Amino acid sequence: MEAGLHIDRSGKFAISRPDPDLVLGAFINVVKVSVRRAKRLGLDGLVVVMPDVKGFLPPDVMARKDMVTEWAASAQDEMITEWGRLTAGSMKLVLVVPENYIDRERIGVAIARIHGLAANVVPTEREAFDWLAHTKLPPNLPRLGPFPPHHRHR
C-alpha cells in the first residue's frame, strides 16, 4: 500500500482522505497523485473523502473544469502499470464532499466524462461506494496515436 492511499476490502478501489485544511491547488494535486497511484495499482476506482472542507470555498465552473481535466489526464497518463499490465485509460473517481460543494448541474462530472474519466460527487461514503459498485465503464481501448487516413487498396 502506498502512503496516503488505502485499499478497500474488495481490493478494487483506493480511498484517499486529504487534509480538510488543504487549499484548492493542493487538493487538486493530491487527487491527481492519488489517481495515478490507483491506476498504477490496477484498481478500478478511487474514492476521495473530504466531508469537512475548510481550506477552500466551493470552486466556480472554470475551477471545476480545470481540476477534472487534470484528473482525467492523470488517469490517461497511467496507461501501463509496473508489471506490464495494460489498464484502460478510464477509471472511476468519486468525491465525497459537503453538499454545498456539489454543483447542482454536475458540470465537473460532465466534463470529466468528456475527457474519459467516469466521475461523480456525492455527500456520503456509502453513496460513493454504491456508485462505484454499480457503475460500469464502457469498453475503452488505449489510444495508439493518430492514424493516417484509411486508404483502400485495389
CATH of the domain at 21: 3.30.750
Handedness of CA 55, 60, 65, 66 (dihedral sign): negative
Q: What are 80's three cell numbers?
A: 501501463
pLDDT at 12: 87
Strands 118-122 and 5-7: unpaired
Is there a domain that residue 140 lies in? Answer: no
Give the CB-side neighbour count of residue 93, counting CA atoms within 13 A: 36
Is there a domain that residue 142 lies in? Answer: no
Please give the angle made by the CA atoms of 138, 32 and 117, to the nearest 5 degrees.
15
Is there a domain that residue 139 lies in? Answer: no
Q: Give the chain's domain count.
A: 1
Q: pLDDT by residue (tens digit) across 8-45?
A: 888 889 999 999 999 999 999 999 999 999 988 888 89
**pTM value > 0.95:** no
Is there a domain that residue 23 lies in? Answer: yes
What average pLDDT does range 77-86 have in this prediction?
44
When pLDDT is cut at 50, 70 and 90, the band that residue 110 belongs to is: very high
Is there a domain that residue 125 lies in? Answer: yes
More confident residue, 4 or 44: 44
Is there a domain that residue 63 lies in? Answer: yes
Is there a domain that residue 27 lies in? Answer: yes
Q: In this structure, what are the phi and psi dihedrals at residue 150, rounded to the nearest 5 degrees?
A: -75, 125
Taking the C-alpha atoms of residue 154 and residue 66, their distance in angstroms, rounded to an integer, is 47
CB 87 within 8 A of CB 81: yes
Q: Which domain holds residue 91?
A: 5-134
**144 secondary structure, DSSP code:** -
Radius of gyration of the chain (CA): 16
Is there a domain that residue 109 lies in? Answer: yes
